[in-house]
Chain A
Amino acid sequence: MFDGTRDQTALVRMEGLHKSYGAVKVLQGLDIEMKRGDRVVVIGPSGGGKSTLLRVLMGLEKVDAGNISFGGRPYITVRNGKTVIDTEVRRSIGMVFQHYTLFPHLSVLQNLVLAPCKVNGEGTASAKARAQALLDRFGLGARAGAYPAQLSGGQKQRVAIARALMLDPKLMLFDEVTSALDPELVAEVEQVMLELAAQAMPMVIVTHDMWFARNIASRVIFCAGGVVVEDGPPEQVLGKPIHERTREFINRVFHIRA
């Protein structure tokens, strides 16, 4: 099902997403189109729908209305009030969470090879070789045999990123991945993400770190009240926002920082 009339360079197209938890409306008609080269940073006040947006995109949450296509192919749709998710498409998306979510009973290496071996049927030897190479690249080569409880927060988060990369995702989602880290551990995680950015990995990042947002984003989206308020290059949204609500938010954030 490829719709040739649409922009073929669109990687993700979200249309009219609505989502509520009980009476609380979190997404209220969200439209975002993402191109293949985009690194989108989503900013906005808490409760504005940022994390929900990522969770919906990962197929972790049901939606009330709207649809998402991925690479021109229908990914998430709503039929008769039920959310239908194409799990094959979902497998090409990777996600890293705020609280690491490593499997505590498995070593670092086992965390990395579980999905490739069990889902893709990759051989253990080949998966382990790839995992070790990835860990070496992230400066974690010596920690392959360690258990998550033996790692620092920054190490855990780098392992979590490596684990997601093992499945060769076409899109990576980062949900406040440095928010739970001690300040001195933030840089090592952001460094890994910048490295991925340099390799043109498409990403959607939710973060409160405006400095990092400016450095990594090709595009910044300001989300509030469950809709996209402003969407543009980082210089615009973070520097000279057009919309009053964005300006208020940016001023408040930078005011706190100063």
Chain B
Amino acid sequence: MHLDFSILPRFADALAYGLWLTVRLTLICIVTGGALGFLLALARRSGSRLLRAVSTVYVEFFRGTPVLIQLFWIFFCLPILLGVELSSFVSGVIALTLYTGAITSETFRSSLGTVGREQMDACVALGLPARVRITSVILPQALLRATPTLLSNAISLFKESSLVSAVGMADLMFVGQNISNNTARPVEVLTAVALIYFAVAFPLTRAVAVLEGRILRKLAV
């Protein structure tokens, strides 16, 4: 077997294009999915039974089905039901946002639970109105506590986003597969793609560990 890694530089631009799409998709869905997840977490802890029921069913459904089928459904079924064409990028964003929302809502839910009742007592004793309680006391603490897990969620999303290649989005995975097929050099190309994913994800996982230590130290009361 003869391995020739020198073919790779020719495809650097294509791979960079694929990585850029992967990164964009991930970043957008972290923000939209994170926002959705926070609202879902509030809904799951709300006093309204209806809100709790709807949000719970939603979260359980998206956690309980494969991301791949969710992607296919959004790509192929949603346009039929809505009667509108969606660009593949928009479909990808919608699908991964819905999925990330379900995952991060669990993260937010547990971090909201760690902001104790005593903090609420202090808020009341200081006369803080509900809006200030949430924005200045509950949310910052919940966010700080959730940050390490949210970053882990983001890293997972970065990797899981490779599934969009299955519906034809030209992300890093898709580009890599194409090059590998056209050059008939799967070992060189797919190894390179795996290393590119790793090169982005690994520093982030290290950053999570460092951040976790700092946050825990700061919030230890």
B partners with A = yes
Contact residue among B125, B126, B140, B218 (Cβ-Cβ distance under 8 Å from A149): B218
Q: Is A154 an interface residue (CB 8 A)?
A: no
Contact residue among A99, A147, A148 (Cβ-Cβ distance under 8 Å from B118): A99
Q: Is B121 an interface residue (CB 8 A)?
A: yes
Q: Which residue of B lies closest to A147 (CB)?
A: B218
Known contacts A59-B124, A103-B119; A149/B129 CB under 8 A: no
With an 8 Å Cβ cutoff, the count of chain A residues facing the other chain is 28
Determine whether the beta carbon of A101 is less than 8 Å from that of B132. Answer: no
Contact residue among B121, B129, B219 (Cβ-Cβ distance under 8 Å from A101): B121
Determine whether the beta carbon of B126 is less than 8 Å from that of A115. Answer: yes
**B114-134, CB < 8 A from A:** 118-119, 121-122, 124-129, 132
Determine whether the beta carbon of B219 is less than 8 Å from that of A103. Answer: no
Tell me, in angstroms, the Cα distance from A114 to B122 when the chains sit together.
Answer: 12
Q: Is B221 an interface residue (CB 8 A)?
A: yes
Determine whether the beta carbon of A149 is less than 8 Å from that of B124. Answer: no
Known contacts A101-B121, A103-B137; A118/B218 CB under 8 A: no
Q: Is B94 an interface residue (CB 8 A)?
A: no
Contact residue among B128, B217, B219 (Cβ-Cβ distance under 8 Å from A105): B219
* Chain A contacts for B118, CB-based, 8 A: 97, 99, 101
Determine whether the beta carbon of A104 is less than 8 Å from that of B141. Answer: yes
**B96-146, CB < 8 A from A:** 118-119, 121-122, 124-129, 132, 136-137, 140-141, 144
Determine whether the beta carbon of A60 is less than 8 Å from that of B137. Answer: no
Determine whether the beta carbon of A100 is less than 8 Å from that of B127. Answer: no
Tell me, in angstroms, the Cα distance from A58 to B121 when the chains sit together.
Answer: 9
With an 8 Å Cβ cutoff, the count of chain B residues facing the other chain is 21
* Chain B contacts for A105, CB-based, 8 A: 140-141, 144, 218-219
* Chain B contacts for A114, CB-based, 8 A: 126, 128, 132, 136
Known contacts A101-B119, A118-B132; A91/B127 CB under 8 A: yes
Give the number of A-B contacts (CB < 8 Å): 69
- Closest Cβ–Cβ distance, residue B98 to chain A (whole Å): 31
Q: Is A95 an interface residue (CB 8 A)?
A: yes
Q: Is A87 an interface residue (CB 8 A)?
A: yes
Determine whether the beta carbon of A60 is less than 8 Å from that of B121. Answer: yes
Determine whether the beta carbon of B122 is less than 8 Å from that of A101. Answer: yes
Tell me, in angstroms, the Cα distance from A148 to B220 when the chains sit together.
Answer: 9
* Chain B contacts for A164, CB-based, 8 A: 125-126
- Closest Cβ–Cβ distance, residue B132 to chain A (whole Å): 5
Determine whether the beta carbon of A167 is less than 8 Å from that of B122. Answer: no
- Closest Cβ–Cβ distance, residue B126 to chain A (whole Å): 4
* Chain B contacts for A221, CB-based, 8 A: none
Known contacts A97-B118, A100-B221; A163/B127 CB under 8 A: no
Tell me, in angstroms, the Cα distance from A95 to B125 when the chains sit together.
Answer: 6
Tell me, in angstroms, the Cα distance from A97 to B118 when the chains sit together.
Answer: 9
Tell me, in angstroms, the Cα distance from A59 to B124 when the chains sit together.
Answer: 8
Tell me, in angstroms, the Cα distance from A105 to B127 when the chains sit together.
Answer: 19
Determine whether the beta carbon of A149 is less than 8 Å from that of B219. Answer: yes
* Chain A contacts for B128, CB-based, 8 A: 114-115, 118-119
Tell me, in angstroms, the Cα distance from A169 to B126 when the chains sit together.
Answer: 10
Contact residue among A99, A100, A119, A148 (Cβ-Cβ distance under 8 Å from B126): A119
* Chain A contacts for B219, CB-based, 8 A: 104-105, 149
Q: Which residue of B lies closest to A87 (CB)?
A: B127
Tell me, in angstroms, the Cα distance from A147 to B218 when the chains sit together.
Answer: 7
* Chain B contacts for A60, CB-based, 8 A: 121, 124-125
Tell me, in angstroms, the Cα distance from A79 to B141 when the chains sit together.
Answer: 36
Mark B194-221 against chain A: 1 for CB-CB distance below 8 A, else 0: 0000000000000000000000011111
6 CB contacts below 8 A, A to B, read A101-B118, A103-B141, A105-B144, A114-B126, A119-B129, A149-B220
> Given known contacts A104-B218, A114-B128, what 15 new A-B pairs fall within 8 Å (CB)?
A87-B127, A97-B121, A97-B125, A101-B121, A101-B122, A102-B221, A103-B141, A104-B141, A104-B221, A105-B141, A118-B136, A119-B128, A147-B218, A148-B221, A167-B127
* Chain B contacts for A149, CB-based, 8 A: 217-221
